[in-house]
Structure 1
Amino acid sequence: MEFLTGYIIEKSLSVDNLFVFLMIFSVMNVKAEHQPHILKWGILGAIFFRIVFIIAGVALINLFHPIIYVFGALLLYAAYKLAFGNDKKIDAENNWLIKIFIKYFKLMPDYDGRKFFIKENGKTYITTMFLTLLLIESSDIVFAIDSIPAIIAITRDTFIIISSNIFAILGLRALYFALAGLVELFKYLKYGVSLLLFYVGIKMLLSDFYKIPTEVSLIIITIILTASILLSLIRKRKFAE
């Protein structure tokens, strides 16, 4: 039950992440045929960083239990930012990570392929595909700051947290191409995800005083996500009429 609840949370939080991936590919002018290759390596990197963050997060709670209140507050802030914050914009030119790599490595901007590095005349060049991968990895790290505390609010079992994260992430590539053409269809989904973050934040803050059963959390989370999807579909149908 904890695995299923954690999996649904991670998968739903991944949807907002996928929309950011869509914007990154658009800004970096990545062709559709090269996107699966970048997503594959991005997902492998995401799995590695998530495992590191999960182990560190659980260790922090075991070492200093009051940190759960910081995590809970972080989730409430993330919920507010998602619901009422401005839409995320990708500014590749001013991204600090890209600036560092462009400073120390030569860029081959006209390369039209899927390789991350190119050797020419004895020199190694980075490509826009590599810079795109950097943007995707850095955006996933930012999302992990929200998603890891969210699942820790459900369970403290490290194996369940890691396995549910990995299973949710492994389906990201297929989910991306399924949702790429349906962005406008799920207009209210971000509010549903925001409400989900708010709920797990409250659950974490109350965990020392009252433990909400996992079954109840699963039902609440399912209702929130289902309602946001149905509202989006109803809105789309009304506009179509």
Structure 2
Amino acid sequence: MLELSVLWWTVTIVLIVGLLAFDLIFAAARPHAVGFKEAVGWSVFYILIAVAFGLAFMWYAGADFGAQYFAGYIVEKSLSVDNLFVFVIIMTTFAVPEAHQHKVLTFGIIIALILRAIFIVVGAALLDLFAVMFLLFGLLLIFTAIQLFRHRDQDPDVQENGLVKLTRKVIPVTTEYDGGRLFTRIDGKKLATPLFIVLIAIGSTDLLFALDSIPAVFGVTAEPYIVFVANAFALLGLRALFFLVKGLLDRLVYLSTGLAIILAFIGVKLVLHWAHGIWPGVPTVSTNASLVVIVVVLAITTVASLIKTKNDPSAKAHPGSLRANPHSDEHSSPRPS
């Protein structure tokens, strides 16, 4: 059982909130198109912070909890790359100006953190009260992995997002952007801009990813604190990572397959953990073994993807979908909402 002092909790919360505030202020103060060098710098910065925190946490709490943090961070980081695919689709579909993509991503990360914090609290409480939740979470991840693998060559239909469609019905939306504003006035009438719809699309996407990522990280650690910080540090680097790899995402053609394997593996791990509590003879999977499997799968996936796209330049990656999309093969020019 992980026991942390009030000081450690305070430092953690101040660090995460401070980084979020800095990111948000930076995005609002300097709206601009983020270049490659800037994206590299920010990506390295956030990765170094995550690693430094992990090493400090390992020193404070011990090697086992430290390994759980790094395993959880790698799981969340790999899932966040798939999240980036969907962000690229959303930005393209709604033709978000490059100068305001920074702001949209920062708000999207804040929404994701809030949603995941809620899911972590609920998930931890359920796991503490009902051991069978390990079985249910495991089966959910296995089902998700199967669906993702089945539809690994498809893209989600952002325009058909239920929350986006409902928002359009309830709130009048303009056809043009008004700088970085979420709302504008035309002839004295207050209207939402396409940027507001983009935030709705990203927020609902975050909700769906939270449903997968929280059970996944609970598969490598049962400690709510580790689940939260692993999510937080993975998401904090998401904005910079978006600008760094958005031009390279098309080359990761086997990413969805790799993520499906990882989700299935963690799902089986959770089922074995549940079964071990009832039948002690059932084997379990250690955190170190999980870390090795995850890293190996991601390495193979990345190398195989690069080899595939080098030999077949026409091959294009897709984020995958959890359900069949009849419009996945249709390619229309990007248009603002």
Shared fold (TM-score greater than 0.5)?
yes
What is the aligned partner in structure 1 of residue 154 from structure 2? 87
Q: How many Å apart are 1:81 and its aligned residue?
A: 1.4
8 A Cα contact 2:73 2:234, kept in partner: yes
CA deviation vs aligned residue, 1:1-42 (integer Å, no higher than 9, x gap) = 000000000000111111011111111111222211111101
User: Aligned equivalents of 2:158 and 2:78: distance in 1?
Assistant: 25
Q: Secondary structure at the match of 2:173?
A: strand
What is the aligned partner in structure 1 of residue 69 from structure 2? 3
What is the aligned partner in structure 1 of residue 19 from structure 2? none
User: Aligned equivalents of 2:158 and 2:286: distance in 1?
Assistant: 42
- Distance 1:154-1:112 versus aligned 2 partners, 3 A rule: same
Q: Secondary structure at the match of 1:108?
A: coil
Tell me which moved more, 62-71 or 111-120: 111-120
User: Aligned equivalents of 2:168 and 2:254: distance in 1?
Assistant: 38
Q: How many Å apart are 1:121 and its aligned residue?
A: 5.3
Q: Secondary structure at the match of 2:285?
A: coil
CA deviation vs aligned residue, 1:152-210 (integer Å, no higher than 9, x gap) = 11111111000010000001111111121012221112211111111100100001323
**Equivalent of 1:203, from 260, 269, 285?**
269
**Equivalent of 2:174, from 102, 105, 108?**
108
The total of aligned residue pairs comes to: 239
What is the aligned partner in structure 1 of residue 22 from structure 2? none
Q: Secondary structure at the match of 1:61?
A: helix
User: Aligned equivalents of 1:235 and 1:121: distance in 2?
Assistant: 54
How large is the RMSD of aligned CA atoms in angstroms?
1.5
The answer to whether residue 116 in structure 2 is matched with residue 50 in structure 1 is yes
**Runs of 5+ in structure 1 lacking a partner?**
none
What is the aligned partner in structure 1 of residue 212 from structure 2? 146
User: Aligned equivalents of 2:231 and 2:113: distance in 1?
Assistant: 8
User: Aligned equivalents of 1:196 and 1:91: distance in 2?
Assistant: 25
% identical equivalent positions: 37
Q: How many Å apart are 1:99 and its aligned residue?
A: 3.0
Q: How many Å apart are 1:106 and its aligned residue?
A: 2.3
User: Aligned equivalents of 2:192 and 2:136: distance in 1?
Assistant: 39
Q: How many Å apart are 1:44 and its aligned residue?
A: 0.6
| Superposition pairs of residues 1-241 of structure 1, within 5 angstroms | 1-85=67-151, 87-92=154-159, 94-120=160-186, 122-208=188-274, 209=276, 210-239=283-312
Q: How many Å apart are 1:120 and its aligned residue?
A: 4.8
8 A Cα contact 2:251 2:306, kept in partner: yes
Q: How many Å apart are 1:225 and its aligned residue?
A: 0.4
Matched letter for residue 262 of structure 2 = L
After TM superposition, the runs of 4+ consecutive aligned structure 1 residues lying more than 3 A away are: 119-123
User: Aligned equivalents of 1:180 and 1:16: distance in 2?
Assistant: 11
Which of structures 1 and 2 has the larger relative contact order (alpha carbons within 8 angstroms, sep 6+)?
1
Q: How many Å apart are 1:112 and its aligned residue?
A: 3.8
**Runs of 5+ in structure 2 lacking a partner?**
1-66, 277-282, 314-337
User: Aligned equivalents of 2:170 and 2:205: distance in 1?
Assistant: 22
- Distance 1:102-1:179 versus aligned 2 partners, 3 A rule: same
User: Aligned equivalents of 1:95 and 1:222: distance in 2?
Assistant: 33
8 A Cα contact 2:119 2:214, kept in partner: yes
Please identify the structure whose Cα radius of gyration is greater: 2
- Distance 1:233-1:95 versus aligned 2 partners, 3 A rule: closer
Tell me which moved more, 195-204 or 176-185: 176-185
Taking structure 1 as the reference length, the TM-score comes to 0.94
User: Aligned equivalents of 2:206 and 2:143: distance in 1?
Assistant: 18
8 A Cα contact 1:24 1:90, kept in partner: no
CA deviation vs aligned residue, 1:209-238 (integer Å, no higher than 9, x gap) = 233111111111111100111111222233
What is the aligned partner in structure 1 of residue 33 from structure 2? none
User: Aligned equivalents of 1:188 and 1:46: distance in 2?
Assistant: 25
Q: How many Å apart are 1:123 and its aligned residue?
A: 3.5
CA deviation vs aligned residue, 1:40-90 (integer Å, no higher than 9, x gap) = 101011100000001101111112210211111110111111111151332
User: Aligned equivalents of 2:304 and 2:287: distance in 1?
Assistant: 26
